[in-house]
Structure 1
Amino acid sequence: MTASAVSMVLLATACGSDKSDTKADAKPSEAAATSAAPAAKGKTDAELAKLLVTQADLADHTFKESTPAEAAAGATATSDKPECKVLVQAQAFVPAGTPSGTARTKAIATPKPAAGTSPEEAAKAVAGALGSTATTVTLASYEAKGAEEAFAAVKTASTKCAGGYAATQDGETTKITKVTPGAAVTGGDESLPLTVELDADGKKLTTQLVLVRKGNTVATFSSLSLAGTAEQPKVLVEAQAKKLG
């Protein structure tokens, strides 16, 4: 579930005819500055943890807490192209920019066999689940315009790095062959769905990367499947976006 398995933000002027007019014109501007909304305050780790999507939100998914080791491993993620590093990090539990707080979880769709299912059919269902799409979810909150800037950074990288790059984590290097727009998603103030294709030891894998920004919080979803082609975690994205408001 770590990114090594894949190795995988953004003048008004006034003139007066005399000093009296200039002074009069200045007052509204001063009032506007005084009444301007304060900069957004970022959330803490604990506050974000309460906003993470959980088993109670999606009964047909199995959730597992991320470990400090996974986050630490993600910190080693890099790329041969500096402009692409933010993409590699996005798939490795590492949010762009400098967040005030982070929270992480992992989820996998686990359809349960219907009542009365034979042992053979149940076994097939389990085998199918092994090929299900597994998704890491990372929430990151920022001060002021940090979330918009972080979102914009990844969006810019997805365009600059569309032709491919190398991703390295924990000493393992994987060749990303291309990055293309993914299926549209709903929720948040802005979203960025991407399909990331890579070559892992000669095997072609299609992974999904989705970013959703709501206010000063960015949710990142990185999905892969042992079957080779990951499905976009639409239900998971929608559930998480709903919890963010």
Structure 2
Amino acid sequence: MRATAVRRTALAASVASLALLATACGGSSDASGSDGKGGGASGAAAGDGAGRKPAVKTLTAAELKKASLVQGDVKGNKIAQAGPGDQVKAGSVTVDKKECEPFAHAYLGVEQGEPVARTQRTAVSEPKKTDKGTSLEDLAEMPEGDAEDAFAAAFDLTSTLVSLSSYEGQGAPETLAAVRESAAKCGGGFSITMDGDTQKVAGLTEEKVTGGDEAIGWTVTSESEGKQVPFKLVAMRRSGTFATFVSFNLAATGGRAEGFELPTAIVTAQAAKLS
């Protein structure tokens, strides 16, 4: 199942999105910018408060690939290169409010500006072990309450798409600043149309997160068919590299969002590799 289809399924609160967990190990999505020039989305660059812009290091395609997460970097998660189905092209996305576009692109893992190089990885959490069986036979023999808990535990799996983009000059600070500004203007909600399907973002709630030189996080509440589904988004910058982490949890798509938090372990591991 394509990741874009999974996103739609998650927004419709369907456990059929479990298919992503079995197909997350697609082909490589690592790529270089078309002309090797940096340049992020519009927005004020982060500085030191005295008008001076931060010094940045531009990672080459080889350096960015080396700094990207690999299996074993995050305990309890399976890491793989994102496949073609995980990639969303800017041309396939329209947003009903222009000022919300930078945030929408970060939320969908869309390439912004003209990065020198770019990589994408998927991180899928391993199922939590319980003392209850999870086979259909086991579920059938359990009391109703225990069966419900065991079923929820089996689907308490979080998938995170990690996108890294390396920029020259002030591309990375400007891109993060644009996403931050976009979120401030669009907290009341907006709509995204992707490949003909419209998704409504009902609201954004800012969350505390640390990592790299600067980072910011949100809970993104999406709405579809009368149901609200939470997603998590972290935007982070380390020197000249801009990173986004977009997570959804299968149990949360069914209305059980307890314990679904920002992907802090993944953010920490990625920030460390970029340092």
Q: Do they superpose with TM above 0.5?
A: yes
Does the Cα contact within 8 Å between 2:95 and 2:104 map onto a contact in 1? yes
Match of 2:234 in 1: 210
Match of 1:81 in 2: 97
Write out aligned runs for 1:172-183 (5 A). Answer: 172-182=197-207
- Of residues 158, 162, 165, the one that matches 1:140 is 165
Match of 1:160 in 2: 185
Match of 2:71 in 1: 55
Write out aligned runs for 1:33-44 (5 A). Answer: 40=56, 42-44=58-60
Identity of aligned residues (%): 36
Task: Tell me if 1:128 matches 2:153.
Answer: yes
In structure 1, C-alpha distance between the alignment counterparts of 2:59 and 2:199, rounded to whole Å: 34
Mark the structure with the bigger radius of gyration. Answer: 1
Match of 1:220 in 2: 244
Match of 1:190 in 2: 214
C-alpha change, 1:40 and 1:58, in structure 2 (3 Å) is closer
SS at match of 1:154: helix
SS at match of 2:92: coil
In structure 1, C-alpha distance between the alignment counterparts of 2:134 and 2:87, rounded to whole Å: 38
Report how far residue 57 of structure 1 moved: 1.1
Does the Cα contact within 8 Å between 2:152 and 2:251 map onto a contact in 1? no
Does the Cα contact within 8 Å between 1:208 and 1:232 map onto a contact in 2? yes
SS at match of 1:107: strand
Name which of structure 1's ranges 221-230 and 67-76 shifts more when overlaid on structure 2. Answer: 67-76
**How many residues in Structure 1 have an aligned counterpart in Structure 2?**
215
In structure 2, C-alpha distance between the alignment counterparts of 1:235 and 1:70, rounded to whole Å: 21
Does the Cα contact within 8 Å between 2:89 and 2:110 map onto a contact in 1? no
Does the Cα contact within 8 Å between 2:238 and 2:274 map onto a contact in 1? yes
Does the Cα contact within 8 Å between 2:193 and 2:199 map onto a contact in 1? yes
In structure 1, C-alpha distance between the alignment counterparts of 2:219 and 2:132, rounded to whole Å: 37
Match of 1:65 in 2: 81
- In structure 2, give the amino acid aligned to 1:65: Q
Does the Cα contact within 8 Å between 1:77 and 1:92 map onto a contact in 2? no
C-alpha change, 1:104 and 1:236, in structure 2 (3 Å) is same
In structure 2, C-alpha distance between the alignment counterparts of 1:190 and 1:215, rounded to whole Å: 9
Alignment root-mean-square deviation, CA: 2.8
In structure 2, C-alpha distance between the alignment counterparts of 1:126 and 1:242, rounded to whole Å: 35
Where in structure 1 are there 5+ consecutive unaligned residues?
A: 11-38
TM-score in terms of structure 2 length: 0.69
What does the per-residue CA deviation read over 1:76-123, in whole Å, with 9 as the maximum and x for residues that have no partner?
122111111122211222133221111001112114638xx6755998
In structure 2, C-alpha distance between the alignment counterparts of 1:66 and 1:213, rounded to whole Å: 20
Where in structure 2 are there 5+ consecutive unaligned residues?
A: 12-42, 45-54, 140-148
C-alpha change, 1:239 and 1:129, in structure 2 (3 Å) is farther
C-alpha change, 1:199 and 1:143, in structure 2 (3 Å) is same
In structure 1, C-alpha distance between the alignment counterparts of 2:88 and 2:219, rounded to whole Å: 25
- In structure 1, give the amino acid aligned to 2:232: Q
C-alpha change, 1:166 and 1:96, in structure 2 (3 Å) is same
